[in-house]
């Protein structure tokens, strides 16, 4: 079971990870975007940290929805609406939950990613965050179907997300600002796929601690 406190710790860990990787994400974005992804993610999760104490004693769905609304209202560019939608949809799917079993945890991620896809209209190999999320969900589903526990299923998801993230390097961007570069977008790792991997890795690290 994943507890409410662990979800809160995950959000705190994510805020720290985005702060620590602010420059790195911004450098990745400078190559193919607006050079603001790291700045935006750091700012958004700082706002989440300001808001978190007001909902930390509420149910998990409420915590995630509040996170999503905070990101939408405080983050510019494409990442705010996309990550905001991820957390909003996750929260709606887990309304009134105080703890999550394996199925709930998978539903949290899957529903969130469905929100990202609806909002961003991304497909595999468009060179977006979906290139990290799609293989992560497939790997987690396969691991759970195989009878693996929460930790091992999530580990499989994180490993797949990392592969997907690295797999964006040779792709030509077909979405967003990067798509304007055409062939020149090849050879650069997608910043959204990178922050998605970091978000998922923070969840695994939280459950391991």
The H or E element containing residue 100 is strand 99-100
Identify the pLDDT of residue 186.
Answer: 95
Q: How many domains does the chain have?
A: 1
Identify the pLDDT of residue 157.
Answer: 98
Of 15-19, 134-138, 179-183, the least confident: 179-183
At 206, the pLDDT band (50, 70, 90 cuts) reads very high
Task: Report pLDDT digits (tens) over 148-203.
Answer: 999 999 999 999 999 999 999 999 999 887 887 888 889 999 999 999 999 999 99
Give this prediction's pTM. Answer: 0.96
Question: From CA 33, how far away is CA 69, in angstroms rounded?
Answer: 24
- Distant-in-sequence, close-in-space partners of 147: CB < 8 Å, separation ≥ 6: none
Question: From CA 174, how far away is CA 124, in angstroms rounded?
Answer: 10
Sign of the Cα torsion 21, 44, 56, 194 reads negative
Identify the pLDDT of residue 74.
Answer: 93
Tally of CA atoms within 13 A in the half-sphere of 21 that contains its CB: 21
Identify the pLDDT of residue 175.
Answer: 83
The H or E element containing residue 99 is strand 99-100
What residue numbers bound the domain in which 22 lies? 2-208
Query: Please, what is the average pLDDT of the chain?
Result: 95
- Distant-in-sequence, close-in-space partners of 80: CB < 8 Å, separation ≥ 6: 40, 44, 71, 72, 73, 74
Average pLDDT over residues 38-48: 97
Q: How many other C-beta atoms can be found within 10 angstroms of the C-beta atom of residue 157? A: 29
The alpha carbons of the chain give a radius of gyration, in whole angstroms, of 16
Task: Report pLDDT digits (tens) over 74-103.
Answer: 987 788 999 999 999 999 999 999 999 999
Burial (CB count <10 Å: 0-12, 13-18, 19+), residue 209: exposed
| Percent of the chain scoring above 70 in pLDDT | 100
Please report where in the chains the tokens 């609406």 appear, as a residue: 81
Tokens standing for residue 12: 């705190």
User: What CATH number should be reported for the domain holding residue 100?
Assistant: 1.25.40.340
At 61, the pLDDT band (50, 70, 90 cuts) reads very high
Cα 171 to Cα 106, 130, 201, distances in angstroms: 28, 13, 23
């Amino acid at each position: 079971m994943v507890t409410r406190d662990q979800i809160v710790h995950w959000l705190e860990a994510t805020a720290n990870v985005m702060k620590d990787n602010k420059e790195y994400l911004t450098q990745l974005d400078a190559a193919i975007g607006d050079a603001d992804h790291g700045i935006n993610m750091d700012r958004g999760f700082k706002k989440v940290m300001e808001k978190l104490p007001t909902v930390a004693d509420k149910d998990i769905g409420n915590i995630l929805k509040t996170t999503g609304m905070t990101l939408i209202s405080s983050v510019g560019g494409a990442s705010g609406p996309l990550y905001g939608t991820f957390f909003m949809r996750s929260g709606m799917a887990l309304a009134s939950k105080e703890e999550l079993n394996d199925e709930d945890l998978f539903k949290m991620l899957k529903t969130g990613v469905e929100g990202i896809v609806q909002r961003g209209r991304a497909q595999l190999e468009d060179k977006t965050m979906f290139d990290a999320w799609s293989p992560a969900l497939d790997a987690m589903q396969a691991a759970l179907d195989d009878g693996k526990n929460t930790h091992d299923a999530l580990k499989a998801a994180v490993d797949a997300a990392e592969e997907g993230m690295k797999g964006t390097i040779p792709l030509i961007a077909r979405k967003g600002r990067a798509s304007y570069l055409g062939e020149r977008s090849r050879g650069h790792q997608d910043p959204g796929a990178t922050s998605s991997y970091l978000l998922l890795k923070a969840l695994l690290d939280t459950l391991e601690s």
